[in-house]
Structure 1
Amino acid sequence: MSRPDGPSADEPLADGPLDPEEGRRLLAPWIGPGAPFRGAVLAVSGGPDSTALMGCAALGPAGVPLVVATVDHGLRPGSEAEAQGVAALAARLGLAHRRLAWTGAKPAARIQEAARAARYGLLAGLAREVGADLVLTAHTLDDQAETVLMRLCAGSGPAGLAGMAPSRALGGLTLARPFLGVPKARLVATCEAREWPFVRDPSNVDPRFGRARLRGLLPLLAAEGLTASRLARLSARLRRDEAALSGAAAAALRDLRRDAPGGEGRLVLDGPGLAALPEAVALRVAGLAVAALHAEAAQGAADAPSPYPPRLERLERVVLEAVLPALREGRPCRRTVAGLLFSTGGGRLTLAPEPPRRVRSRME
């Protein structure tokens, strides 16, 4: 399910707190009367964004049962007390609350990524426990702008620069972001106007983290015209275009796939047909083919680790600079991507598991 996620770059953004009707309108498709969900878990950290989400949800007539959840990552002193503060406000608002603790050893590197994965895992687990099929988070327009900037710095293509989707699948559930088009300042103002207490996470301004460093650049970029609104509109446009290209690629993969001699673990595509596609579509066909083989391998080995998708730069070098020219010129080509061997020949492109590399002895 998808919802609009932001105003036009040239539309003036509303300011000031959300009024109750505006909050209800943003949340109604997800938790209002007639919403197509059995129940919802509200992810509330205690910051102003998620506190506003909880408060607005409590003000409107809920059409589904609601449970507030606070994930205590245990990464800094006071996190348990902050969870208790959320529980107190939830009780005041008439909402059930659960504290979810991230236990066990914490990684020394990429701690924010690991915490994010743990957070979503705990939220999804609680949703299943209470019979809910929806998780709501309070990501804002500012979060979207920061995400686009981070992915731009990382060299992402259109799919990455599309940013966060208004909703996506989460382990058989739906994760939705109803405030994705709302500036953070309005949610802070909402909490202040309603006297909903909130806390500020010091990691949001900690220069050790890339997102915090980029957050500090946003006012400078806005002064040059690159506002959070424009970055969010860019993400919406790229998401629209990416959906069209991905749909074309999925249809092309179905049309170009051929019987694969040699059993499972192989995928064969019609070479001339692939080479005749626009390069943007052909590149996505190759990416979908890689994903399909990885999915098949994962089904065959339940304990196999989930492989990372190939980096866009690597896929571009292999497909655009090697495989497609070879198909057009009718010559053989062999390249590896993400543990798979791409080989051309006989008018076909074959993807198969990369053969094990031969270990050279000292005598050779």
Structure 2
Amino acid sequence: MGPGSVYRGGVLAVSGGPDSTALMGCAALVPRGLPVIVATVDHGLRPASAVEAQAVAALAARLGLAHRILAWTGPKPAAHLQEAARAARYRLLAGLAREAGADLVLTAHTLDDQAETVLMRLCAGSGPAGLAGMAPARALDGVTLGRPFLGVPKARLVATCDSQGWPFVRDPSNADPRFGRARLRRLMPLLAEEGLTPGRLVRLAGRLRRDEAALAQAAASALSDLRRSGPDGHGTLILDGAGLATLPEAVALRVVGLAVTALREDAAADPPRLGQLERIVLGEVLPALREGIPCRRTVAGLLLAAGAGRLSLSPAPPRRPSRPHPA
């Protein structure tokens, strides 16, 4: 959703809560230049979800907007339910966009959501990339995911719905203490009293997003300069070890992370954890390169071998099966 972006059509993700209802209502007030479809994902997790989806359909019809209900079918996981529901929601929304010939999915994430996300990631020990929070726009399965309300407080959207007479519902899971986001939401007023307001958390995210973009660009440029070969037919990539060792550690860490990502066969797999990369790259590989001593470590199924002034990355050999203990 950058300057000059041109889109063919959009899918509005509307659950029926105040934020997404305001998104739908505001879209209806805008002169129709972009064809839109309102989509409600029924996760089937609460008895009232089907009724709520029908209520969104009724309001969409009243506003003159097309509407689709997307059902999340199949077994639901017992653990990490909210994460699984989020992944299913985005998959269904992107699928509808492609089916309809649209290339934009819009969600109603607010300033409050961004602040909670930053706080959750802080609690999880995230680095700058995680603390940068949600991006205003990003790629999503061949379409663009946009968040136009990311700088808007939730209270303003609630007030907009009230003033326009747009009915909405409140999801009880938003206050369910079983979920981490709900527990942190209850803490936000106390943190605000100490000065850690949602606005300050969002400004922190913006600053870190800016810095992370600069570091990512520096790392991509450094990887191009330091690459000596590969990946070759054996899946090996070689970097100039001396040059890597002289980089600022934040850039060197990202260079190795980019190289690892470039070599992994399963592009959809989760990237290596920041803590693991820090421990191995900063704690062992870079010191070995600086001191000119060999070092071999495994990260995300890849062998990192430092020595002879270079760092090579290649698929790790299969582990030997453990021998059974004698009876």
Alignment TM class, shorter chain as reference = over 0.9
Q: Which has the higher contact order (CA 8 A, sep 6+)?
A: 1
Amino acid at match of 1:63: G
Retained in 2: the 8 A contact 1:51–1:196? yes
Q: Pairwise CA RMSD of aligned residues? A: 1.4
**2:251 equivalent in structure 1:** 281
Match of 2:266 among 290, 295, 298: 298
Match of residue 68 from structure 1: 38
Residue 132, structure 1, aligned to residue 113, structure 2? no
Cα distance change on mapping 1:202 and 1:187 into 2, 3 Å: same
* C-alpha distance after superposition, 1:32-71 (max 9, x if no partner): xx86100000000000000000000100112110100000
Q: Give the Cα separation in 2 of the matches to 1:84 and 1:151.
A: 34
- Structure 1 residue 339 displacement after superposition: 1.2
Moved over 4 A (4+): none
Residues in 2 aligned to 1:125 and 1:261: alpha-carbon distance in whole angstroms: 33
Report matched runs for 1:1-364 at 5 Å. 1-2=1-2, 36-260=6-230, 263-294=233-264, 297-298=265-266, 306-362=268-324
Q: What code does the residue aligned with 1:348 have?
A: R
Find the aligned partners of 1:169 and 1:261 in 2 and give their Cα distance: 26
Q: Which amino acid aligns with 1:90?
A: A
Please give the secondary structure, in 2, of the residue aligned with 1:193: helix
SS in 2 for 1:298: coil
Distance 1:341 1:197, change over 3 A: same
SS in 1 for 2:74: coil
Matched residues, number = 326
Corresponding position of 1:8: none
Q: 1:245 to 1:334 in 2, by over 3 A?
A: same
Listed one character per residue, the Cα deviations across residues 89-137 of structure 1 (whole Å, up to 9, x for unaligned) are 0000000000000001111110100000000000000001111000000
Write the distance in 2 (CA, Å) between the matches of 1:344 and 1:362: 33
Residue pair 1:148, 1:163 contacting (<8 A) in 2 also: yes
CA distance in 1, matches of 2:285, 2:105: 42
Query: How far is the alpha carbon of 1:258 from its aligned partner?
Result: 1.3
Q: TM-score, normalised by structure 2?
A: 0.97
Q: Gaps spanning 5+ residues in structure 2: where?
A: none
Percent of matched pairs sharing the same residue: 76
Q: CA deviation at 1:298?
A: 3.4
